[in-house]
Structure formats: C-alpha cells, structure tokens
Amino acid sequence: MNGRRMIRLSKCRFATASARETFLEDYAKHHVSLSPLQRVLLTAGSAAISLANPFRGDMIACLGETTGTNALVHCHRQMKDTAEGQRILAQKPRVNTSTVELSYLGDLPPGTIGRTYRDFLDDNNVSPDDRTMVQFVDDTELAYVMQRYREVHDIFHAMLLMPTTMLGEVSVKWIEALQTRLPMCITGAIFGASRLRSRQRQLYLDYHLPWSINTGLNAKFLLGIYYEERWEQSLEDFHREMNITRLV
C-alpha cells in the first residue's frame, strides 16, 4: 500500500467517525416542521412547478421530501438488509468536496468507479456540492436516506454510464423509481419521457426504457452501496456484482 493511499484511508476513518455527527448537526440546522395543511400546500405547489419546469431542482427536491415517507421506509428497510447498507446508515457518510478527495479520484486508473465518477463530474460540469440539505422529513433516519439518495444520484448516473441529458435523466429516473419507489422518481420518469424529442423518444422506446426496467428490477439495490469504499473497484467488476448490463 503506497503512502498516499495510507494517508487517504486514515483521513477517511477520521471523516467516517465524524460524519454521523455532521449530518445530525446539518439536519437540526435545516429541518423545518410542517403542519398537515402546510405539507399539503407545499406538495401541491412543488408538484405544479416541477411539472411546468422539470429543471427546478429545488421544487423537485421539495416534492420528494413531502411525498416520500413510505418510499423512504422501504429504502431504509432495503439498506438494513445488507451489511454494506447497515454501515451506511450507522456512519451516515456524505458526498461532497469536503468528504470526497476529487484529486485522488482523478488519479485512479480509467475504468475504476472513482475515476468514472470524477470523469462524469468533469464531463457534465456538475459538482457534488450541488445537492441541498433535506428540510421537510421529520424522522432523522429517513431524512438521511433522502440525503443519501440526493448525494449519490450523480454516482448512479456515472455507474450506469448515463449523461445528464433528458434521455439519460429519464433512464436513470426509471431505475430509481423501480428501486426506491419515490413518487418524485415515478413522476419524473413518466413526465420526463413526454418531453423527449422525436429521435430521443425512439431511442427511449427501443433501447433505454427496456434497459431501465430490466436494470431497476434485477440489479442490486443501488442506494445500499457504499461507493466511497469502492472507488478502486473496476466498473466491469461492479456491473457484474450488481447484475447490471451496459446499454452503451
């Protein structure tokens, strides 16, 4: 093991020890309790705006929080079913530029999980810091599950080799909808498909939709994967382990 990797692992152990406390502090700082009426009004408003403008990430996030309780319970149960998922729930790691050493990921060999994720961020001009903190989920454990989903969404894209185009987004949303059962993923998959251009729609119907459904139903539960422990794993091995067939 080289010196740089030993230092990185040491930092990771320290970060892991404080990750849970950091999440709980952030959650307490941002959490907003809603009355039943406020929740209904916020759900209706965020749904209307999200359908009118699918690029309003803040409204989509809000809709996910106000409608996702049952789905989050399902996700939490799925994560608790595996040792890897249990570690995530216990340690509550975060994915942002203060917890993920992007320069290290960029130095990993091509074809590894970490390098693939770093290349995805660069190619699509996105940052792990773009994800907002959960506000409207009252249960702390479920709030973390939603936060984790939000922060690994781009990792899903990278692992599935899907760009941030509308076609790529809809394809990933179908997989997320089938695995997480989050209402916002279901509506995003259905209504996002209606916005595809004719050529994209044909690709979607012929290739992307069947692939997404097959992956969503047959792959392992992707939200329960501790990606931070797998940066050096090859994407080929990861796909084999997760039962994912590449579309591209």
Could you state, in order of their start, the residue ranges of all structural domains in the chain?
3-242
* Residue 153 marked ligand-binding: yes
Q: Are 219 and 175 in contact (CB under 8 A)?
A: yes
Residue 221 has pLDDT above 90, yes or no: yes
What confidence tens digit (pLDDT) does each residue in 62-75 have?
Answer: 777 878 899 999 99
Q: Identify the bridge partners of residue 234 per DSSP, sorted by sequence position.
A: 112
* Residue 74 marked ligand-binding: no
Q: Quick one: CA torsion of 160, 163, 169, 170, rounded to 10 degrees?
A: -70
Give the pLDDT confidence score for residue 68 in this predicted structure: 85
Give the pLDDT confidence score for residue 10 in this predicted structure: 46
Question: Of the candidates 164, 122, 136, 124, which has an alpha carbon nearest to the alpha carbon of residue 69?
Answer: 136
* Residue 30 marked ligand-binding: no
Buried b (16+ CB within 10 A) or exposed e, 210-247: ebbebbbeebebbbbbbbbebbeebbeebbeebebeee
Portion of the chain with pLDDT greater than 90, in percent: 69
Q: Which residue has the higher pLDDT, 215 or 187?
A: 215
pTM of the model: 0.88
* Residue 76 marked ligand-binding: no
Quote the mean pLDDT of the chain.
90
Give the pLDDT confidence score for residue 1 in this predicted structure: 46
Burial of 55 (0-12, 13-18, 19+ CB in 10 A): exposed
181 phi-psi bin (left φ>0, alpha ψ -120 to 50, beta other): left
